[in-house]
Amino acid sequence: MTKRGKRSKALPVFDNQLEWGTGDLVDESLSDAAQAIIADLAEHHDGDLQEWLKQRLGSYRAVTRETEKGPARHEEIREIQQAHLSLREALQRLSNFSPFVEGLINDACWRSHGCFFSGGLLSDLEAKATMVSDVLDITEQKLETAPTIRGVKPKFQRDALLADTADKLRQSSLAKMTKRRAAELARELLVAAGVEVPEDIVEIEKLIRRVKKGGKKASN
């Protein structure tokens, strides 16, 4: 009797893209107010301002959403420690086969890869595992010393969005645009898109400069 393979169901088509790592839909929507501002700017700007802003906002929303629902610091550190433990257990398991099983594995490894498992492929894996372990150690140290802000969420992503939007506005402008005007327009556009940003334009300019310098201070 011939078995028939299952027919795959057609996947749904979404306008928005899927967020990497979670499978959630990325929200690239633009409010009517934001679209109206872009329409007013169209005569004085070239290219894909609206499409660029949709994609940049989608990225911003995805990252901030993950940050807000992310685990506590001690849980993040536990993730690293658990990965360390799993790595050690895997290497220990691979190094302790019974003689008969080890012989079969060595034979399969030689036939498939031209080298023995013990002292060959396993040694390569142990070397890579040492590198992974080093990376996990460094990551754990960074997590332990990284500052946390309780009660107030840092605004790194928002500040970067401000800076990127101001840059995009200046670059796409058909006429020369001052940094102050770009900052004003960036603020107006992001507020219309539903992003909470400071009202003071001097503060906006300060945040943009901080991002460009590599922003070492968290803004609120």
pLDDT digits (tens, 9 = 90+) for 144-185: 887 665 444 558 889 999 999 999 999 989 889 999 999 999
Asked if residue 131 lies in contact with residue 170, where contact means CB atoms within 8 angstroms, the answer is no
38-67 pLDDT per residue, tens = 999 888 887 788 999 999 999 998 888 777
Q: Where are the domains of the chain?
A: 32-64+151-212, 73-145
For residue 173, give every residue at least 6 positions away whose Cβ sits within 8 Å of its Cβ, in sequence order, or none.
44, 45, 182
Residue closest to 56 by CA, chosen among 153, 155, 170, 167: 167
Tokens standing for residue 161: 């969005």
How would you write 114-178 as a 3-class SS string? CCCHHHHHHHHHHHHHHHHHHHHHHHHHHHHHCCCCCCCCCCHHHHHHHHHHHHHHHHHECCCCC
